[in-house]
Structure 1
Amino acid sequence: MQLLKNALSFSAKEFCFVFFGYVLMFFLVQYVIYPVQEIIIPESTIFAALLFLPHGVRVVSIWLLRERAIIPLFLASLVIYRSFYWHAEPFYLNYFLILTGTFCAYIAILFFDFGKIDLSVQNLSISHWRSLILLGFVASVFNAIGNSVILASSIDLESQLRTLIHYLIGDTLGVVGFLVILLALLRIGRVLN
């Protein structure tokens, strides 16, 4: 019950950051990264981008906002899936994929909390960018395993390991890529002020 109460306590600004950040990063992947990936690595799997920037939004928003990021992430994923992927699987599998993506970073941060490893914003004794990459990698493990299980009937056995590896690489590099974009935007903001 506390999770739901916390999840519903987001501000409009937080909602917009998470929702539109996720959607914008997805469009960047869909219309820039996928086409380039297809040219450079045509045999790469159709199920995973090798630079999935929305995973960076998941990780950073969960790291900063915790439960308050869950609903905006879910709604952004729902909009994306309804717009691009709904026809690809039986409809109920789409919800499982959305939930896996929505909760992978949250489960990863709970994993660290359970192990008494403080990756929080308040912990000034750690390198936050390294913590975010580590959190992103662990979240990508949960996401990759979840998606591989959900899509097992759609991916032939030979391609499953490759797809799992693509998820791990794409999600982890997506965190790094999103952090670079975020830092660039923050610097541009400072220069303009």
Structure 2
Amino acid sequence: MGKWFIEAFLVFVGYTAAYTLTLGFVYPMQKILLPENSLMASLLFLPHGVRAIAFFLFGLRATLYLLPAHYAMWYITVHGADIGLDVFSPLVSVLGCLLGYILFLFVRKFLPTNVYDKGYILVFLIIIFSAFFNSVGLSRLHFSLYDFEHLLSYFWGDVFGGLIFLVLAMYIWRILKNTKFD
């Protein structure tokens, strides 16, 4: 097996697990606590953290790694959970994250050098930039051009979900790093 297959598999499993947690726990809680809010935009979209970490670790290859996971979860969401999403939603999401990553590559040149040691700050910048482009693309795809409420819902859902996922991933990494498996 090639290195690319293992990377793609890890991204697929990570995205699928985060999406399943979001679809099985976050969406029902959102529906209970905020019934007037649309389920098209999650207020805590954990898979956005997987997207950002994938772009941070694998660069532009993450685009190809994320597409199968996005379409698998799109199929489950549309046909299993009866949430109507456009067939182009996964493509728009991945392209939005790609644009955010490209913007990050440009902005990274102007950051102080001591920031490069703090990977979590760099991932958080990718989260913010890609959340912006993702929210613009998805709100335009699913709603009218000037629907600012849904744009903000997508943006903050991606940012909060990405941040929570990043914090969880950092703590899990520290626990695993400090655990001795004998």
What is the TM-score when the length of structure 1 is the normalising length?
0.80
- Residue 102 in structure 1 maps to residue 94 in structure 2: yes
The alpha carbon displacement at 1:130 in A equals 2.3
Residue pair 1:112, 1:118 contacting (<8 A) in 2 also: no
CA RMSD of aligned residues (A): 2.4
Q: For the residues of structure 1 that align with 2:63 and 2:169, how far apart are their CA atoms?
A: 20
1:1-193 matches, cutoff 5 A: 11-85=4-78, 88=84, 93-94=86-87, 96-115=88-107, 117=109, 125-126=114-115, 127-152=118-143, 160-193=147-180
The runs of 5 or more residues in structure 2 that have no matched partner are: none
Flag the 1:178–1:124 CA change in 2: closer, same or farther, 3 A.
farther
Identity among equivalent positions (%) equals 28
The runs of 5 or more residues in structure 1 that have no matched partner are: 1-8
| 1:119-140 CA distance string (max 9 Å, x none) | 7xxx962033222222211111
| 1:25-45 CA distance string (max 9 Å, x none) | 000000111111122222222
The alpha carbon displacement at 1:178 in A equals 0.9
Flag the 1:124–1:175 CA change in 2: closer, same or farther, 3 A.
farther
Q: For the residues of structure 2 that align with 1:97 and 1:41, how far apart are their CA atoms?
A: 23
Residue pair 1:66, 1:106 contacting (<8 A) in 2 also: no
Residue pair 2:67, 2:94 contacting (<8 A) in 1 also: yes
Residue pair 1:140, 1:167 contacting (<8 A) in 2 also: yes
Residue pair 2:104, 2:129 contacting (<8 A) in 1 also: no
Flag the 1:10–1:162 CA change in 2: closer, same or farther, 3 A.
farther
Q: For the residues of structure 2 that align with 1:134 and 1:150, how far apart are their CA atoms?
A: 24
Flag the 1:12–1:40 CA change in 2: closer, same or farther, 3 A.
same
The alpha carbon displacement at 1:111 in A equals 1.5
What is the TM-score when the length of structure 2 is the normalising length?
0.84
The alpha carbon displacement at 1:117 in A equals 3.0
Residue pair 1:132, 1:175 contacting (<8 A) in 2 also: no
